[in-house]
Amino acid sequence: MKISTKTRYGLIAMIYLKDNKLSSIKKISKEEKIPENYLAKIFLTLKKAGLLKVKRGTTGGYFLSKPANQIKIGQIIKALEKKILPVACMENICPKQSVCKAKKIWFKIYKTWFSSLNSLTLADA
């Protein structure tokens, strides 16, 4: 599976917040070289997923919604990726799905991959 730029930036920003506790999009954007408007959209998605919170005001910014050791890498990826399946047949749109000899192994690969991502937390980064 190929991870999108959106997810790569989102993970970088989440790791940044793990280390800096509270920060503005502008500061993260500048320090991590992530386009500010793009990061704002990413943060909106992560906030909706319950992974980030925001503190309003001049001393405000974004912060993790819970401790880093409770935020799984799989949660971040799932929040930012539209599709996280390695092959189309897992969406039941493959014309060969009823006779596919590899479908079972693709499901095992996906399960193992996602299980691995859920065993890692931001604290591991």
Q: Tens digit of pLDDT for each residue in 91-102?
A: 766 777 777 788
CA 96/CA 50 separation, integer angstroms: 38
How far apart are the two ends of the chain, measured CA to CA in Å? 21
Whether domain 5-124 has CATH 1.10.10.10: the reply is yes
CA 113/CA 80 separation, integer angstroms: 17
Q: What is the pTM of this model?
A: 0.85
100 Cβ contact partners less than 8 Å away, ≥ 6 residues apart: 89, 94
Q: Domain locations in the chain?
A: 5-124
The amino acid at residue 119 is S
Indicate whether 1 pLDDT > 70. no
